[in-house]
Amino acid sequence: MDVLTAYRPAFLENVPVSIQVIAFGAIAISAYIAYSLLTIERPLKGFPVVALTERGLSPKWSWYSAGTETVAKGLKEHNAPFQVITGTGPKIILPNRFADELRAREELNFPKAFEKEFFVNYPGFDGHRQGLIDDWFIQEITRVKLTQSLNLITHDLVDETTAAVHDVFGEDTEWHTAALKDNVAEMVARLSSRVFLGLPLCRNRRWLDIAKDYTIDSFIGSQLMRIAPPILRPVSYWLIPNCTRLRKQVRDARKLIMPEVERRKERAQKALEAGQKPPKTADTIGWMYEVGRGRQVDYVAAQLSLSLAAIHTTTESTAQALIDICRFPEVVQPMREEIIQVISENGWTKASLQKLRLMDSFLKESQRFTPMSTLSMNRYVEKELELSDRTVLPVGSRFLVAAAFQDPSMYDEPEKFKAFRFSDKRQEPGQANAWGHVTTNSSHLGFGHGQHACPGRFFASNEIKVILCHLLLKYDFDLVDGEVPPTINFEVNKSISPKSKVSLRRRKEEIVLDLESPS
């Protein structure tokens, strides 16, 4: 007897199986239609819906498969607020001129803009839930503790870079090819984890894999869930392999991180009992303990939340910088000369990283030229808000602001890669601080803008600079077969293909970059 027959109610025994199947199908379909009608996210009133209808795309599919072009079409046709229909409902797109007035409006909420995107109530999305429950916690860890410690952690960054670069790209002095994305991700995961968790966890294989994969699995898992019709989401969640991976990552992260947290609490307790000060640590476990001020802290969710914000973004930016070094090789010599001069004169300090003006400009131009996203400033409207053009953003709506990376009124010859356009601008009177890598401006939304602009950007910028100093002096890089690695595009996002490769060979660095006594 098969399973179906075993569980078939008695009254169905005389009804042919084919009829049963059809009847069941009809009931399921009607239930689905009824449910969809009740829960469908209708377009907002008063904002034109933009889609590439001329290509036969529905609004939802237009956003999903060609988000960047859909937005470009809306901006061109309306030059005013309009809406797109995403897998989780409508979103308003605002032209760039609204960026400044929305910097610090108290009607807005940042984490709520992501609530529907990541299915925070499902197990595995713990990192996303952390941000939503307690947004200020990670903000305070990052903006206050991490940023204030940049001087203290510069040596750790250099130490970890020395070891990671050697492990990842090796010592081969002949030209050879290597994976680009995964190797950069490995370096970034090690450097970030050195500062987030300290030694020895930052070199733990399982943790590094979690740090690298958690973000991507959650992007893919939630994206597959967004495509599925809402009624099927509870089912699809259990079938999507990336959601299964998320649950395992959270379990394993707990096993790795909690013993370390306990060890440190004990150590601090013992010191206090002996009448001494608890040992100071330059990593986020200690900061979380302090910032928590005696409250219950979910250290694991908080670490995953940090990884979510930090690893993928920094990996993309660093990998893109390497691609640009290959595409525009004329930038290499000036940047090498700058590194040699600054580091040999000043050694490794926070201040020396600030003196790398050419590299700073190059990184900002790299972000401008190939942005990760053409939209920024994701926000949720908590209280009705009127814009300067009298447009009213309704309660419960979500919006994004268009970037202006290609705007010719902001950028001279925007279609050209000009590595040192920002360092040139900084030499104009009164502009010394206006165009730094970490300075946000409505014309450069690479780190967002306003109250919720990326609080990790000071750290990220320093981390990428330390990596680039080592890579530029220790290696020559080139494109493989002269080809720019392909990108993967979805919605408005662009990401370098995980299959991308780079050509490289070890060269002799002109000055000693490594610390004298590495750990």
Ligand X SMILES: *[C@@H]1O[C@H](CO)[C@@H](O)[C@H](O)[C@H]1NC(C)=O
Distance CA 154, CA 161 (A): 10
Confirm if 153 and 195 have CB atoms less than 8 A apart: yes
DSSP character at residue 34? H
Nearer to ligand X, 286 or 456 (CB): 456
Tokens standing for residue 133: 């429950």
Residue 100 binds ligand HEM (CB under 6 A)? no
Tokens standing for residue 218: 């959650």
Confirm if 466 and 187 have CB atoms less than 8 A apart: no
Kindly identify the residues of this chain, within the stretch 236-295, that bind ligand HEM according to CB under 6 A. none
Nearer to ligand X, 162 or 366 (CB): 366
By a kind-dependent CB cut-off of 5 to 8 A, residue 219 interacts, out of ligand X, ligand HEM, none, with ligand X
Kindly identify the residues of this chain, within the stretch 108-167, that bind ligand X according to CB under 6 A. none
Confirm if 116 and 87 have CB atoms less than 8 A apart: no
Nearer to ligand HEM, 139 or 423 (CB): 139
Distance CA 227, CA 244 (A): 18
State CA 455 to chain mean position distance. Answer: 13
Nearer to ligand HEM, 24 or 136 (CB): 136
Distance CA 156, CA 459 (A): 12
Residue 88 binds ligand X (CB under 6 A)? no
- Smallest gap from Cβ 146 to ligand HEM, in A, equals 6
Residue 434 binds ligand X (CB under 6 A)? yes
Kindly identify the residues of this chain, within the stretch 243-302, that bind ligand X according to CB under 6 A. 245
Give the angle 30-34-35 at the CA atoms, nearest 5°: 115
Among 441, 451, 487, 489, binds ligand X (CB under 6 A): 441
Helices (H), 7-58: 17-39
Among 453, 467, 468, 502, binds ligand HEM (CB under 6 A): 453
Q: Residue 454 class from Cβ within 10 Å (0-12 exposed, 13-18 middle, 19+ buried)?
A: buried
Confirm if 287 and 146 have CB atoms less than 8 A apart: yes
By a kind-dependent CB cut-off of 5 to 8 A, residue 242 interacts, out of ligand HEM, ligand X, none, with ligand X
Residue 485 binds ligand HEM (CB under 6 A)? no
Give the angle 425-430-432 at the CA atoms, nearest 5°: 55
Of 126, 105, 341, the closest CA to residue 214 belongs to: 126
- Smallest gap from Cβ 118 to ligand HEM, in A, equals 14
Kindly identify the residues of this chain, within the stretch 362-391, that bind ligand HEM according to CB under 6 A. 376-378
Q: Are strands 493-496 and 487-490 parallel, antiparallel or unpaired?
A: antiparallel
By a kind-dependent CB cut-off of 5 to 8 A, residue 156 interacts, out of ligand HEM, ligand X, none, with none
The stretch among 47-55, 191-199, 239-247, 281-289 that binds ligand X (CB under 6 A) is 239-247
Q: Count residues contacting ligand X (CB under 6 A)?
A: 18
**Annotated binding residue 243:** no
Nearer to ligand HEM, 223 or 374 (CB): 374
Confirm if 381 and 398 have CB atoms less than 8 A apart: yes
By a kind-dependent CB cut-off of 5 to 8 A, residue 217 interacts, out of ligand HEM, ligand X, none, with ligand X
Helices 299-327 & 181-196 angle (0-180, nearest 10):
140
By a kind-dependent CB cut-off of 5 to 8 A, residue 81 interacts, out of ligand X, ligand HEM, none, with none
Kindly identify the residues of this chain, within the stretch 211-230, that bind ligand X according to CB under 6 A. 213, 216-217, 219-220
By a kind-dependent CB cut-off of 5 to 8 A, residue 452 interacts, out of ligand HEM, ligand X, none, with ligand HEM
Distance CA 82, CA 491 (A): 16
Distance CA 72, CA 77 (A): 9
Distance CA 391, CA 386 (A): 6
Kindly identify the residues of this chain, within the stretch 364-393, that bind ligand X according to CB under 6 A. 373, 375-376, 378
Return the half-sphere exposure (C-beta side, CA atoms, 13 A cut-off) of residue 278: 15
Ramachandran region, residue 56 (left: φ > 0; alpha: ψ -120 to 50; beta: rest) = left
- Smallest gap from Cβ 510 to ligand HEM, in A, equals 27
Residue 222 binds ligand HEM (CB under 6 A)? no
Distance CA 252, CA 300 (A): 10
Binding mask 334-363 for ligand HEM (x = CB under 6 A): ------------------------------
Among 120, 401, 492, 502, binds ligand X (CB under 6 A): 492
By a kind-dependent CB cut-off of 5 to 8 A, residue 489 interacts, out of ligand HEM, ligand X, none, with none
Nearer to ligand HEM, 368 or 474 (CB): 368
Nearer to ligand X, 305 or 352 (CB): 305
- Smallest gap from Cβ 476 to ligand HEM, in A, equals 24
Q: Strands, DSSP E only, in 106-252? A: 108-109, 176-179
Residue 139 binds ligand HEM (CB under 6 A)? yes
Give the angle 349-350-355 at the CA atoms, nearest 5°: 95
Torsion sign (Cα): 344, 345, 349, 354: negative
Q: Residue 477: which H helix or E strand, with range?
A: strand 475-478
Nearer to ligand X, 261 or 496 (CB): 496
Among 100, 135, 182, 209, binds ligand HEM (CB under 6 A): 135
**Rg from Cα positions in the chain:** 25
Contacts with ligand HEM by CB under 6 A lie at 110, 135, 138-139, 142, 146, 306, 309-310, 313-314, 317, 376-378, 446-450, 452-457, 459-460
Contacts with ligand X by CB under 6 A lie at 100, 213, 216-217, 219-220, 241-242, 245, 373, 375-376, 378, 400, 434, 441, 492-493
Specify binding-site residues. Answer: 454
Specify binding-site residues for heme. Answer: 454
